[in-house]
Structure 1
Amino acid sequence: MPRIETPWGPWEAAPLHAVVALFQNLAAPWWVSGGYAIELAVGRSFREHEDVDITVLRRDQLAVRAVLADWDVHAADPPGRLRPWPIDEPLPAHVHDIWVREHPGGPWRFQLMLEETDGDEWVYRRDARIRRPLASVGIAAEGFLRLTPEIQLLFKAKGTRPKDELDFEQVLPHLTPEQAAWLREALATEHGRHPWQARLGS
Structure 2
Amino acid sequence: MEEGEGDMFGPVKRVYEWMRLFEGKWMVAGGWAIDLHIGEETRMHEDVEVAIFRDEQLHLGPLLASCETMAVEQGRLVHWNMEKRLEPPVHEIHVSKGGEVQLEILLNERSRGDFRFRRNEAITFPLARMNLQSEFGIPYLNPEIVLLYKSKNTQKKDEIDFTHIFPHLNEGQREWLKQALIHFEPNHPWLGKLLNN
The answer to whether TM tops 0.5 is yes
Q: Structure 1, residues 142-188: CA drift from partner, whole Å, max 9, x if none?
A: 22310000000000111211110010000000000000000000000
* 8 A Cα contact 2:2 2:11, kept in partner: no
**Structure 1 residue aligned with 2:7:** none
Matched residue, 2:130: 137
Which residue number corresponds to residue 103 of structure 2?
110
- Once residues 108 and 41 of structure 1 are traced to their aligned partners in structure 2, the CA distance between those partners, rounded to angstroms, is 23
2:113 to 120, 138, 148: 120
**TM-score (norm. length: structure 2):** 0.90
How far apart, in 2, do the equivalents of 1:41 and 1:55 lie?
A: 16
Q: Deviations over 1:5-35 (max 9, x none)?
A: xxxxxxxxx8221111111011110000111
Q: Contact 2:144–2:173 (CA<8 Å) still a contact in 1?
A: yes
- 1:30 aligned onto 2:23: no
Consecutive unaligned residues of structure 2, counting only runs of 5 or more, are 4-9
Distance apart, 1:85 and its partner CA: 1.3
| Two-structure CA RMSD over aligned residues (Å) | 1.8
Structure 2 equivalent of residue 8 of structure 1: none
Partner of 1:161: 155
1:107, distance to aligned residue in structure 2 (A): 7.2
Q: Distance in 2 between matches of 1:15 and 1:164?
A: 20
TM-superposed CA distance for 1:108, in Å, is: 7.0
Q: Percent identity?
A: 35
* Larger deviation, residues 85-94 vs 69-78: 85-94
Aligned equivalent of 2:50: 54
Runs of 4+ in structure 1 displaced over 6 angstroms? none
Instruction: Give the 3-state SS of the residue equivalent to 2:94 in structure 1.
Output: strand
Inter-CA distance 107–23: structure 2 relative to 1 (3 Å threshold): closer
Q: TM-score, normalised by structure 1?
A: 0.88
Would the aligned equivalents of 1:101 and 1:108 in 2 still touch at CA under 8 Å?
Answer: yes
**Mapped contact 1:32–1:145 kept (Cα < 8 A):** yes
- Cross-structure match for 1:68: 64
Count of equivalent residues:
189
Q: What SS does the aligned partner of 2:105 have?
A: strand
Report if the CA contact (8 A) 2:94-2:105 is conserved.
Answer: yes
Structure 2 residue corresponding to 1:178, chosen from 172, 178, 182:
172
Equivalent residue, structure 2, for 1:15: 11
1:94 aligns with 2:89: yes
Q: Which runs of 5+ in 1 are unaligned?
A: 4-13
| Offset from partner CA, 1:33-91 (integer Å, 9 cap, x none) | 1110001111211111111100000000010233211111111122x211111132211
Question: Which position in structure 1 is the counterpart of 2:6?
Answer: none
Pick the aligned partner of 2:40 from 32, 37, 44. Answer: 44
Find the counterpart in structure 2 of residue 7 from structure 1.
none
TM-superposed CA distance for 1:119, in Å, is 2.6
Moved more, 23-32 or 188-197: 188-197
